[in-house]
């Protein structure tokens, strides 16, 4: 971690405390813990970013993700975890940012290795909170989240997180080469690993067409990428370590419907052979999911396959969840009652 980088990060942390974005006390402890835990990634940001503004933006994004309300502790004697099989179980999980079960309660389900679980529900229903419990951005206040039969709190945090690939609504890219952006978090990745991840994420084609390929610089003065291309790089980044568990929290939300199609193709490749959680807004994604969880104010209101849920005329999925589908094709199909056949 370079001197300048550290100064920027500490100043930024202090500023967040002053702004009330992270609380004094636990907030500072979490901040210090993050500096330590993510030293690798933070060093990357500091090295890659070549202007103060760039550092602040990058750090801001990282802290949004890591801005945890409680201290995440490593267990004294962690259960060894090299590569998880990918079974994810929630057992009567409750969660709230204030310590009361205000955000999630009574959440139970089992995701078998390699299955695809789609989450639907209104904004604020708790989808992101639920997903954040898996890599321990926060801990449950009751019940347990289990991977391969052990509570996630029994694993070393870094071992746990190495098994989980994450893609969010918007992705941060650095002013660095495309290769470095994909290898974010694992600077030792080989060119082969980077290309394999890009191929799976359906990004290799467009990268290859750029004059400088993987060496193309992004950011100011560098190549301008479309929203769909940015998200495909983010998916490649999430796939770099071949994680057995993949979390796609609304990766197409900030994308216009035309480019959404490119990302959906990338998502399909990415999901293969992994336990995948996806916050979905499209019928095509929901139809393909093995299991759909409908969240309503922090509870699982309904569950089942698309077909099963559509068969319940008074069900919340059929009545409301599906009306939130954002894309034109989904809307047309809902209006004409044609939600079954594959697109
Ligand atoms: N950092 C936070 N502090 C306090 N409350 C939060 C925070 N983030 C989200 N919430 C609240 O938690 C609830 C669940 O939010 P979220 O998991 O983001 O829902 P979804 O992803 O389904 O839109 C909402 O009521 C939201 O306002
Ligand atoms: Mg969300």
pLDDT tens digits, 255-283: 776 677 778 878 888 999 999 999 987 88
Index of the ligand 1 atom closest to the CA of residue 125? 22
Average pLDDT, the chain: 82
Query: If DSSP codes are grouped into helix, strand and coil, which group holds residue 170?
Result: coil
| CB of 36 sitting under 6 A from ligand 1 | no
Structure confidence at residue 49 (pLDDT): 41
State how far the alpha carbon of 38 is from the alpha carbons of 42, 183, 186, 248, in Å.
6, 15, 11, 21
Ligand 1 atom with least separation from CA of 121: 22
The pLDDT-based confidence of 18 (bands split at 50, 70, 90) is low
324 C-beta closer than 6 A to ligand 1: no
- Write the CA distances from 312 to 257, 263, 271, 316, 341, integer angstroms: 29, 31, 28, 9, 18
Of all residues in the chain, what percent carry a pLDDT higher than 90?
48
At residue 16, the pLDDT reads 65
pLDDT of 138 > 60? The answer is yes
Residue 59 has pLDDT above 60, yes or no: no
pLDDT at 247: 95
What is the edge-to-edge ordering of all strands in the sheet holding 245-248? 164-167, 245-248, 275-279, 116-120, 291-296, 299-304
Ligand 1 centre to CA of 103 (Å) is 7
pLDDT interval class at 168 (50, 70, 90) = confident
Bridge partner list, 275: 245
Assign 80 to helix, strand or coil: coil
- Those residues whose beta carbon sits under 5 angstroms from the ion ligand 2 are 127-128
CA distance 29 to 101: 23
Give the mean model confidence (pLDDT) for residues 65-73. 58
State the average pLDDT over residues 138-166: 95
Distance 137 CA to ligand 1 centre (A): 13
Cα distance between residue 139 and residue 189, in whole Å = 30
- CA distances 25 to 70, 71, 74, 235, Å, are 10, 10, 19, 35
- Residue 82: pLDDT over 90: yes
Render pLDDT for 298-337 as a digit per residue (tens, 0 to 9): 999 999 999 999 999 889 998 876 776 666 777 777 777 7
pLDDT at 46: 44
d(CA 101, CA 109): 18
Q: Is 129 in the pocket of ligand 1 (CB under 6 A)?
A: yes
Q: Can you name the residues that pair with 286 across neighbouring β-strands?
A: none
Question: Is 40's pLDDT higher than 60?
Answer: no
Nearest-CA neighbor of 105 among 320, 315, 295, 316? 295
């Amino acid at each position: 971690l370079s001197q300048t980088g550290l100064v920027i990060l500490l100043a930024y942390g202090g500023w967040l405390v002053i702004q009330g974005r992270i609380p004094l006390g636990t907030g500072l402890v979490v901040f210090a813990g993050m500096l330590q835990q993510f030293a690798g990634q933070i060093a990357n940001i500091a090295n890659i970013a070549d202007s103060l503004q760039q550092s602040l933006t990058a750090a801001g994004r990282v802290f949004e993700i890591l801005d945890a309300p409680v201290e995440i502790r490593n267990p004294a004697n962690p259960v060894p975890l090299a590569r998880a099989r990918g079974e994810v179980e929630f057992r009567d999980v409750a969660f709230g940012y204030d310590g009361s079960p205000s955000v999630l309660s009574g959440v139970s389900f089992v995701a078998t290795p390699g299955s695809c679980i789609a989450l639907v529900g209104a904004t604020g229903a708790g989808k992101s909170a639920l997903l954040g419990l898996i890599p321990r951005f926060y801990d449950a206040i009751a019940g347990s989240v289990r991977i391969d039969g052990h509570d996630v709190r029994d694993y070393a945090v870094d071992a746990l997180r190495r098994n989980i690939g994450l893609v969010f609504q918007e992705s941060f890219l650095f002013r660095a080469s495309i290769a470095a952006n994909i290898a974010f978090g694992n600077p030792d990745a080989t060119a082969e690993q980077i290309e394999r991840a890009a191929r799976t994420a359906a990004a290799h084609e467009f990268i290859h067409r750029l004059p400088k390929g993987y060496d193309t610089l992004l950011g100011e003065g560098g190549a301008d990428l479309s929203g769909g291309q940015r998200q495909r790089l983010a998916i490649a980044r999430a796939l770099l370590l071949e994680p057995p568990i993949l979390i796609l929290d609304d990766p197409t939300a900030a994308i216009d419907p035309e480019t959404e199609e490119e990302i959906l193709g990338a998502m399909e490749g990415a999901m293969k052979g992994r336990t995948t959680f996806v916050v979905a807004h499209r019928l095509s994604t929901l139809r393909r999911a093995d299991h759909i969880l409908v969240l309503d104010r922090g509870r699982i209101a309904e569950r089942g396959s698309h077909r099963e849920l559509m068969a319940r005329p008074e069900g919340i999925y059929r009545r409301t969840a599906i009306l939130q589908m954002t894309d034109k094709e989904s809307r047309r199909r809902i209006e004409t009652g044609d939600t079954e056949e594959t697109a």
